[in-house]
Amino acid sequence: MGFASTLLVIVLLLNFFMLGASRVRAVINGSAMQGVVLGLLAVSVHAHLDLEIVLIALVAGLVKGLLIPRMLMKAMRGGAIRREVEPLVGFMPSLLLCAVTTGGALVFSSTLPLAPQHAGSLLVPTSLATVLAGFLLLITRRKAITQVVGYLVLENGIYVMGLMLLEAMPFLVEVGVLLDLFVAIFVMGIIINHINREFSSLDTSRLTALREE
Amino acid sequence: MIEVLHTLSRLAMVSFLLRLLLHLAIAVSFPPLLLGIIGKVKAFFGGRVGPPVLQPYRDLLRLFRKGFVFSRTTTWVFRAGPVVGLITVALAMVLMPLGSHRAPLAFGGDVLVFAGLLGLGRFFTVAAALDTGSSFEGMGAAREATFSALAEPGLFLGLMVLVRHATGASLDLMLSTEGTARAWEATPGALVMVAVSFFALLLVENSRIPVDDPATHLELTMIHEVMVLDHSGPAFGLIQYGAALKLFVFASLVVNVAFPVTTGNPEADWVLFLGAVVALAMGVGVLESTMARLRLLHVPRLLVASSILSVFGIILGS
Amino acid sequence: MIAGVLGVVLCVVVLVVSGLVALGLTRKPQVAGAVAASGVVLGALLGLWPTVRVLAGGASSEASASWSLPGGTLAVGLDPLTAFFLLPMLVLGAVAAVYGREYLLLFADTRRLGFPFFGFNLLIASMVMVVLARNAVLFLVAWETMAIAAALLVSFEHDRPEALRAGWVYLVVAHLGAMCLFVLFLLFKASAGSFDFAAFAQTPPVGSAAVAVAVLALVGFGSKAGFVPLHVWLPEAHAAAPSHVSAILSGVLLKVGFYGLLRVFQLLGTRADWWGPALVALGISSALVAIVVALYQRDFKRALAYSSIENVGVIAVGLGVSFWAGSRGHPRVSALALAGALMHVWNHAVMKGGMFLVAGSVLHGTGTRDLEQLGGLSRRMPVTAVAMTVGVLALSALPPLNGFVSEWLLYLSLLRLGADGAGPLPLLLVGMLALVAALAALAFVRLYGVVLLGQPRSDVARHAHESSRWMTVPMLVLAGLCVAMAVFPGFVLAALDGVRAQVGGPALFPADQLSLGRLGAFNLALWAVVLLGGRLFLGLVVRRPVTEDDTWGCGYPEPTARMQYGARSFSELASEQVLPAMLGPRVTRVKPVGLFPGAARFSADDRDPLTRRWYEPAFARVAGWLASLAWVQRGVLTAYLTYVFAAVLAALLWVSLRSGGAP
């Protein structure tokens, strides 16, 4: 389990990296790294390997680590987006917030009534912390493209939680992986393109125009 | 021995058939007389001599010899109206016992068929009126359909009182002389309510004063008569004859409830029954002569009142 | 032919596959329609064989396969109760599919038809699956599919705001109902430990949980069946949907609500005393309110939809009387009422299905559902007129048609109750039911007269055209079924025996069976006498001189078609003078005043009175309260995400505080 714990810590660190990075490209790379790590995690968490788990790991790693980041990069180039992140909340405050939420996640998960085999593991706190970090990214960043990354990070957190359940309910995890694919198509294709076309910019603050008067 | 039984049963058969024929003959031929009697009574109260009592028969004969006039607007529905109207009343008549004489046709639940038949006849009469496209006939159709919808609960509630002491759910058993006599002994108050309520129904269903005035000449105030304005010749004859039959059916209903008397002798019972029906017709004539028509908008109150009477009947009777 | 439940599963597969193929062929509507409709017909044929075998007394069958969804197993079963509801689905489904192909092709130039074809097949398939399912998860999946397919079909004409609104209202009500069902099945699960119906029946909930289950079933399934006041979705949806879909909605989908009720009651095992009176109260109030409102409708299909609520009410009254009488020791009454209720389920499917097809044909021939624009159609649409005559008489519960037979059983049960001396209250029910039936006759003679008779009230009605055979034959098939079921009620009764036993009702007494047979014979005789009488009369007409002339105008020389009694004027006496104003239309009129009067106006608002008087003011008030919260709606995406973030944090905090220091 040592290897798995190391991977989980890397996931946590990547959360901080993404919140602290000032370049959009770095944020995307961070999410790609996280995706690859999660793929490895699926294999390492479980003592015995079977085909199903390997497949899930492969698909997750490919989609999260390669496919979606590539598409994001492409969208960045196509959308002529400035490279700066343009945060609504500064880098230092967001890092601080992330530290608070990660600490909170560790405290929360120690109070949760977990099954004995998960009690000491970092899986649950990492999952919660990643979900919350994803939220922070979503809230504190203005650009649509960084928001997509935020959503991906949030999803990564849920995926970590799903790994815990992989043996009990493989179906749910499969559905989760499929959902990733769906997000890739949906978020990328529809949201980014639409914002770009309708508002000729990738700034979500323009969506205020849709507000009901 | 078997020979004798055979002869006996054949004799019984023949006498049954003869009685059935007499029953049907009376049911077919007697009704128009009631219209004549009502007319005579009204003429008497009006200080006139009036047409002879047999005048309705002559009118019918005259109508059946005539040709037809059809509106260009009308379709087969208009032609079906009088036919279905007469057939349904005739079949309702077949289900109705006349005094102590059993109904020619009876089965469990035929009392609901009785109501259904009247509904079917009304449906086609109303549809035929709408088929002419005349605003006056449409008006009459709306009135007739609305008022008879309100009359329906009264009929059913009254039947619920009668079924309490009957030996079965057929009209024949519910209105049998023994059944109603038993009911009169058990719950006389309820039976009075039902009899009054059925009498009100008779007035409504047959478009008599105070609900409707069959003799009025003003289309705007009519209900039933305005619906049949466009019918002519034999079709109108069918309608007139159907109206007479319907009056007779409802008169039998009221007489069966109000006057359950039998002498044990079939011929004497016929006299007794027809006498009661004639007396009822005279009563209707007197009522029509002495009472003014209700305002159209007060008719619903009369209908609701008749239903409420039956409700009291149910409460008293159970 | 595959017997047993697998045959019906195959039917579902055929329905879905043919629907998907049709969806793929969106660009070729002709082919897509043919594929979809023949898929339904083929599927119905496949499903009919096992269904009929079970109804004829064959053995029930079950099958199950594992499913990776948590708690779900693919458990299906075919027993008499399922078969009873399956039969009208398959028959009406096949007839409506044939009709619907032609009906939808009229829209081929303006709309894409792939989805409507697919959606119809999916709707039928999901309904079949609902009655087959023997596992709560599978049931709910099928139930939701059914709701969504129906909602999308309702919004078929999605560029019309009322169609969108109808679909929306339907979805909202369907999900409120589904919410009740979720809780209901969770309660079952709590006592049984599994989501399988078989386990539910082993250890059903008892005590207050059983009461909760029954109440949730009445609300959840009752909203599908359309009990007042949960009926608001029904008239909108039936009016907006394509007519063959309306036929399915009214003929079968509403009955699925009854399937759910009966299934849950069966799973609960012991019958509570209050079910009967509750069903009677719900049923009679639904029937009375709905038939009064039906009388005022200006839209052909909305009037039919309200009449569906009325018929649903009548079925509920029958079930309620049967339960009540059964628990009070009146087996004969209970048997009659149950037979009436069950038979009415089938009868209503056939007659109302047929009437919606008629409405579709009229809509097709004239382009309008507005009764004030119609009139005089029986000349231009003779076949539709014949089908409508049969449908209208059946729906008015008049002999010699099938609607009368089932209501006859119901009334007879109440008469028997009266004969047994059961106290005044149940007897008064007869009066109310009689009022319902009489008002139904009033509503339908109005519809009949205004649509078919008199003179056309508009140009579209003047130039109406009859539908093609693909549409008229399905209508005639259903009309023929109406006649057949009225003439052979004994046959229908025999087919209901299995359900009757499964629902736990007593068998019809031999004397009553005999009477029912006599009623069938009487109906046959009535048909014969009426047809013969009509023939004789026509013979007389031919032999006498006949003059054709204008209708007698009571001395008025220049009558016009607009002077006829119309839909509104026909029901005016009832709405203004006789029936409660609470249910009536809201009338606004400007009367002409003075010597040189200005323009006079009159309008009547016939929207649902409960929507208008209760729901809309209530929702408006809620919206008023919520207006003070408008600042929450920022229009800034990150603000919304912050709300979500805060909610997640709060939930985590709550969980951790609740388990506070437990480990």
**Residue-range domain boundaries for chain B:** 31-317
Q: Which residues pair with B71 in a beta bridge?
A: C549
User: What pLDDT sits at residue C42?
Assistant: 95
How is C16-85 classified by DSSP, letter by letter? HHHHHHHHHTTT-HHHHHHHHHHHHHHHHHHHHHHHHHHHTTPPPEEEEEE-SSTT-EEEEEE-HHHHHH
pLDDT at C507 over 80: yes
pLDDT at A103 over 70: yes
Q: What angle do CA B283, B289, B290 make, to 5 degrees?
A: 90
Q: Cβ–Cβ of B149/C438 closer than 8 Å? A: yes
Q: What angle do CA B246, B251, B252 make, to 5 degrees?
A: 100
| More confident: C275 or A213 | C275
d(CA C119, CA C42): 17
pLDDT at B268 over 80: yes
Q: Which residues of A touch C640 (CB under 8 A)?
A: none
Residue C290 in contact with residue C306, Cβ under 8 Å?
Answer: yes
d(CA C373, CA C351): 24
User: What pLDDT sits at residue C663?
Assistant: 43
Report ipTM (2 d.p.): 0.93
Peptide bond into B210 cis (omega under 30): yes
CA distance B2 to chain C (A): 31
Q: How would residue C662 be classed by pLDDT, with cut points 50, 70 and 90?
A: very low
Within 8 A by CB and 6+ apart from B138, the residues are B129, B130, C449, C454, C564, C565, C569, C570
> Which of C421, C454, C572 has the CB atom closest to B318's CB atom?
C421
pLDDT tens by residue, B42-90: 999 989 998 999 999 999 999 999 999 998 889 999 999 999 999 999 9
Mark whether A and C touch (3+ CB pairs within 8 Å).
yes
pLDDT at B214 over 90: no
pLDDT tens by residue, C83-105: 999 999 999 999 999 999 999 98
pLDDT at A143 over 50: yes
* 3-state SS string for B117-173: HHHHHHHHHHHHHHHCCCHHHHHHHHHHHHHHHHHHHHHHHHHHHHHCCCCCCCHHH
Size of interface B-C (CB pairs under 8 A): 262
Residue C67 gets the label, from left (phi > 0), alpha (psi -120 to 50) or beta, of beta
Residue A162 in contact with residue A155, Cβ under 8 Å?
Answer: no
> Which of A135, A170, A210 has the CB atom closest to C648's CB atom?
A135
Q: What angle do CA C571, C572, C577 make, to 5 degrees?
A: 115
Q: Cβ–Cβ of C530/B113 closer than 8 Å? A: no
Residue C587 in contact with residue C602, Cβ under 8 Å?
Answer: yes
Radius of gyration of chain A from its Cα atoms, rounded to whole angstroms? 17
Angle of the C300-327 helix axis to the C254-268 helix axis, nearest 10? 20
Q: How many residues does chain A have?
A: 213
CA distance C518 to chain B (A): 7
- What is the average per-residue pLDDT within C474-500? 94
Q: Which residues pair with C65 in a beta bridge?
A: C74
User: What pLDDT sits at residue C149?
Assistant: 94
Q: What angle do CA C121, C126, C131 make, to 5 degrees?
A: 130
Residues 49 to 68 of B: which have CB under 8 A from any C CB? 66-68
d(CA A96, CA A82): 26
Q: Which residues of C touch A108 (CB under 8 A)?
A: 652-653, 655-656
Q: Which residue pairs from A107-114 have beta carbons closer than 8 angstroms and sit at least 24 positions apart in sequence? A: A107/C656, A108/C652, A108/C653, A108/C655, A108/C656, A110/C663, A111/C655, A111/C656, A111/C659, A111/C660, A111/C661, A111/C662, A111/C663, A112/C655, A112/C656, A112/C659, A113/C659, A113/C662, A113/C663
Rounded to two decimals, the pTM is: 0.86
Within 8 A by CB and 6+ apart from C207, the residues are none
Max CA separation in chain A (angstroms): 58
- What is the average per-residue pLDDT within C418-432? 81
Q: What is the dihedral of CA B15, B20, B21, B24, to 10 degrees?
A: 160
User: What pLDDT sits at residue A206?
Assistant: 56
User: What pLDDT sits at residue B1?
Assistant: 57
d(CA C232, CA C173): 8
If you ran DSSP here, which 8-state letter would residue B68 be given? E
Q: Could you tell me if A145 lies within 8 Å of chain C, comparing CB atoms?
A: no
Q: How many residues does chain C have?
A: 663
User: What pLDDT sits at residue B4?
Assistant: 67
**Closest-CA residue to C82 (of C507, C504, C498):** C498
Give the strand pairing for C73-78 and C61-66. Answer: antiparallel
Helix or strand or coil: residue C589?
strand
Q: Which other chains touch chain A, taking contact as 3+ CB pairs less than 8 Å apart?
A: C
d(CA C322, CA C338): 5
Lowest mean pLDDT among A183-192, B219-228, B254-263: A183-192
d(CA C438, CA B120): 11
